[in-house]
Structure 1
Amino acid sequence: MAWLRSFWSGLPAEGRWLLAVVAAQTLGRGLTLPFTIIYLREVRGFDLGVAGALMALVAVAGFAATVPTGRLVDRYGARGVLLGGQGAMAAGCALLAFAAGPWTAGAALTLIGLTFGAALPAFNTMIAAVADGDVRQRFFGVHFALMNLGIGAGGVAGGLFVDVEAPATFAAVYLAEAATALVAMAVLLLPLRRLRGRAGRGAAPGAGRDPAPGPREAGYRAVLRQPAARRLAAVTFIGVLAGHGQFQVGIPSFAREVAGVSTGAIGLAFAVNTVMIVVLQLPVLSAIGGRRRTRAMLVMGGAWAGAWVLLGLSALGAGDLPPGAGPGAGAAVATAGLLAFMAVFAFGETLLQPTVPAVTNDLATDHDRGRYNAVNAAAFNGGAIAAPAVAGLLLGLDLGAWYVGLMAAGCLALCGLALALERVLPPEANGVPATAAPGAR
Structure 2
Amino acid sequence: MLAQQLGIPRRKGTKSFLLILLIDALGTGLFAPFSLLYFHVIAALPLTEVGVALSIATVFTFPVIPLTGTLVDRFGARRLVIGAQLLQGVGFLGYLLVRDMPLLIIMAILVNVGQRIFWSAYFSLVSELSEGGERDRWFGLLGAAQITGIGIGNALTGVLIGTLGTPGYYSVVAIDALSFFVAALMLYFLVPVERREDSTEHKNAQQGSYRMVLRDRPFLGLIVTNAAFALCFCLIGLGLPVYATDALHIPIWVVGVALGLNTALIAFLQTFLIRHLRAMRRTRILILAGLILALWSLLYILALPMPQTIIIPYIIIATCTQAFGEALHAPTSNALATEASPLALRGRYLAVFQFSWALALFVAPTMFTVSFSLNPALPWAIGTVLALLASLGTFLLEPHLPREAIHISTVAPQPEEQRQAG
Give the structure-2-normalised TM-score: 0.91
Structure 2 match to 1:221? 211
Structure 1 match to 2:249? 260
Report the Cα offset of residue 247 of structure 1: 3.8
Q: What secondary structure sits across from 1:63 in the alignment?
A: coil
Tell me the distance in 1 between the aligned counterparts of 2:277 and 2:351.
26
Structure 2 match to 1:230? 220
Report the Cα offset of residue 111 of structure 1: 1.4
Counterpart code for 1:238: A
Counterpart code for 1:403: P
Structure 1 match to 2:347? 370
Tell me the distance in 2 between the aligned counterparts of 1:391 and 1:277.
23
Matched, 1:273 2:250: no
Q: What secondary structure sits across from 1:12 in the alignment?
A: coil
Counterpart code for 1:363: A
Matched, 1:162 2:161: yes
Matched, 1:195 2:193: yes
Tell me the distance in 2 between the aligned counterparts of 1:390 and 1:68.
28
Asked whether the 8 Å contact 1:121–1:377 carries over to 2, the reply is yes
- 1:109-142 Cα deviation digits (max 9, x unpaired): 2211112211112111111112122201111110
Tell me the distance in 1 between the aligned counterparts of 2:410 and 2:13.
29
Q: How does 1:318-337 map to 2 (within 5 A)?
A: 321=307, 330=308, 332-337=309-314
Q: How does 1:99-114 map to 2 (within 5 A)?
A: 99-114=98-113
Asked whether the 8 Å contact 2:225–2:394 carries over to 1, the reply is yes
Structure 2 match to 1:326? none
Counterpart code for 2:70: R
Which residue of 302, 306, 318 corresponds with 2:295?
306
Which of 145-154 and 183-192 deviates more?
183-192
Which residue of 423, 429, 434 corresponds with 2:405?
429
Q: 1:247 to 1:178 in 2, by over 3 A?
A: farther
Report the Cα offset of residue 265 of structure 1: 1.1
Structure 1 match to 2:49? 50
Matched, 1:408 2:384: yes
Structure 1 match to 2:416? none
Asked whether the 8 Å contact 2:39–2:45 carries over to 1, the reply is yes
- 1:346-383 Cα deviation digits (max 9, x unpaired): 11111111111111111222221111111111121111
Q: 1:377 to 1:217 in 2, by over 3 A?
A: farther
Structure 2 match to 1:381? 358
The percentage of aligned residue pairs carrying the same residue is 22
- 1:296-334 Cα deviation digits (max 9, x unpaired): 1101111011111122223335xxx4xxxxxxxx1x533
Asked whether the 8 Å contact 2:270–2:331 carries over to 1, the reply is no
Report the Cα offset of residue 233 of structure 1: 0.4
- 1:143-186 Cα deviation digits (max 9, x unpaired): 11111111011111111111498322111111101101011111
- 1:250-305 Cα deviation digits (max 9, x unpaired): 22222221122222111111101111112212220112213210101101111011
Asked whether the 8 Å contact 2:6–2:141 carries over to 1, the reply is no
Report the Cα offset of residue 94 of structure 1: 1.0
Asked whether the 8 Å contact 2:8–2:15 carries over to 1, the reply is no
Tell me the distance in 2 between the aligned counterparts of 1:361 and 1:199.
14
Asked whether the 8 Å contact 2:287–2:395 carries over to 1, the reply is yes
Structure 2 match to 1:149? 148
- 1:62-112 Cα deviation digits (max 9, x unpaired): 333211111111111111111211111101111112312222222222211
Asked whether the 8 Å contact 2:9–2:130 carries over to 1, the reply is no
Q: 1:217 to 1:260 in 2, by over 3 A?
A: farther
Q: 1:98 to 1:413 in 2, by over 3 A?
A: same
Which residue of 340, 343, 352 corresponds with 2:329?
352
Q: What secondary structure sits across from 2:370 in the alignment?
A: helix
- 1:29-75 Cα deviation digits (max 9, x unpaired): 11111111222334433323212223334543433321111111111
Which residue of 217, 229, 233 corresponds with 1:239?
229
Report the Cα offset of residue 217 of structure 1: 4.1
Tell me the distance in 1 between the aligned counterparts of 2:410 and 2:141.
26
Which of 342-351 and 40-49 deviates more?
40-49
Which of 285-294 and 213-222 deviates more?
213-222
Task: Structure 1 unaligned segments of length 5 or more: list them.
Answer: 201-208, 322-329, 436-441
Q: 1:185 to 1:365 in 2, by over 3 A?
A: same
Counterpart code for 1:154: G
Structure 1 match to 2:286? 297
Q: What secondary structure sits across from 2:32 in the alignment?
A: helix
Structure 2 match to 1:116? 115
CA RMSD of aligned residues (A): 2.3
Q: 1:22 to 1:361 in 2, by over 3 A?
A: same
Asked whether the 8 Å contact 1:313–1:337 carries over to 2, the reply is no
Report the Cα offset of residue 420 of structure 1: 1.7
Matched, 1:251 2:227: no
Structure 1 match to 2:419? none
> How many residue pairs are counted as aligned between the two chains?
410
Tell me the distance in 1 between the aligned counterparts of 2:278 and 2:114.
32
Asked whether the 8 Å contact 1:81–1:122 carries over to 2, the reply is yes
Asked whether the 8 Å contact 2:145–2:267 carries over to 1, the reply is yes
Q: What secondary structure sits across from 1:316 in the alignment?
A: coil
Q: 1:300 to 1:182 in 2, by over 3 A?
A: same
Q: 1:424 to 1:55 in 2, by over 3 A?
A: same
Asked whether the 8 Å contact 1:273–1:343 carries over to 2, the reply is yes
Q: Which has the higher helix share?
A: 2
